[in-house]
Structure 1
């Protein structure tokens, strides 16, 4: 056996609150890797409801890597939430029409921070909020109820509002080695074969497995 079927929305028998969400995403601008799961006893298949202000005409994407763990209540604010900030008022008069559309922002006047990108093997804790355009690096951990407004370095632990680095998980040279190994891109048979090493702290052993 080589682990659960990534095509199965609910890979844990009798435990429907865990969902491999790649199987439930309909929006083409939300891209999710294999084995990434969302844990929510209310509606694990309804992950898309947590991606807010994601309007197709804006064109931004939410990209989430493989083997991520996303807790209940995690939300992603997308660029469609932004209001024009260069004028006196930030009120979006134009959305109500009836003559107010004359105040519509010109191209480029609305803040736009690009795609939101979550790396591989990222753990995002309960009720956290990720703001537009943020990049969260591979192996990072986001503490519960964090508000992530800036990029998160790979293999770091962040928390708070605004989220700040609490500590690195590994030294910088070790992080570089782990990123080079990129175990999440191995064939699943190889991941299964070397699970004990992947969940250990032995980076030398992981590199040896990569070369095997």
Structure 2
């Protein structure tokens, strides 16, 4: 029961990754990021921001001090599609799905599907009944990976 982080991903030493978390190729993960169990980050997902102050009069951006560094949470069973960008300090809720190429600037509630620039809610991931069953199963024994072979 371990996370899988592709060797080409740029991850900070303080990354906290849950069971079976997956970080794809060429991801860029900022410090103070927490990803939960079963989270999938597709290739080229980026968690960025909080690294420059741009509003200090008379001081070039590169010479300003770093602002407060916020924690970014990607909760259990969330999936971020190819090239999604998440601004630091955002909370992506349990079971949420972020579409490829989206830019997430605000918290994403649990079990919602978001897309766009900036990302907005498209719809819910499950019906209420299916979500309840999904959460019950996730809360029971740890899931064991099973992968479908070629069809």
The 5 Å alignment of 1:118-129 reads 118-129=74-85
- Please give the TM-score of this superposition, normalised by the length of structure 1: 0.56
Match of residue 147, structure 1, among 103, 108, 115: 103
Structure 1 unaligned residues grouped into runs of 5+: 1-5, 10-19, 55-60, 95-103, 196-212
Q: Rate the CA distance shift 1:25–1:149 in 2: closer, same or farther, 3 A.
A: closer
Partner of 2:149: none
Distance 1:22 1:32 in 2: 13
The 5 Å alignment of 1:10-159 reads 20-21=4-5, 27-40=12-25, 47=27, 50-52=28-30, 54=31, 61-79=32-50, 81-85=51-55, 87-88=56-57, 91-92=60-61, 94=63, 110=67, 112=68, 114-159=70-115
Contact 1:83-1:90 within 8 A present in 2 as well? no
The structure in which a higher percent of residues are helix is: 1
The structure in which a higher percent of residues are strand is: 2
Cα deviations by residue, 1:89-129 (Å, 9 ceiling, x for unpaired): 563353xxxxxxxxx55xxx93x362000001111000110
- Please give the TM-score of this superposition, normalised by the length of structure 2: 0.76
What is the root-mean-square deviation in Å for CA atoms of aligned residues?
3.3
Q: Which one has a bigger Cα radius of gyration? A: 1
CA-CA distance at 1:29 after TM superposition? 1.9
CA-CA distance at 1:28 after TM superposition? 4.1
For these two proteins, the number of residue pairs brought into alignment is: 144
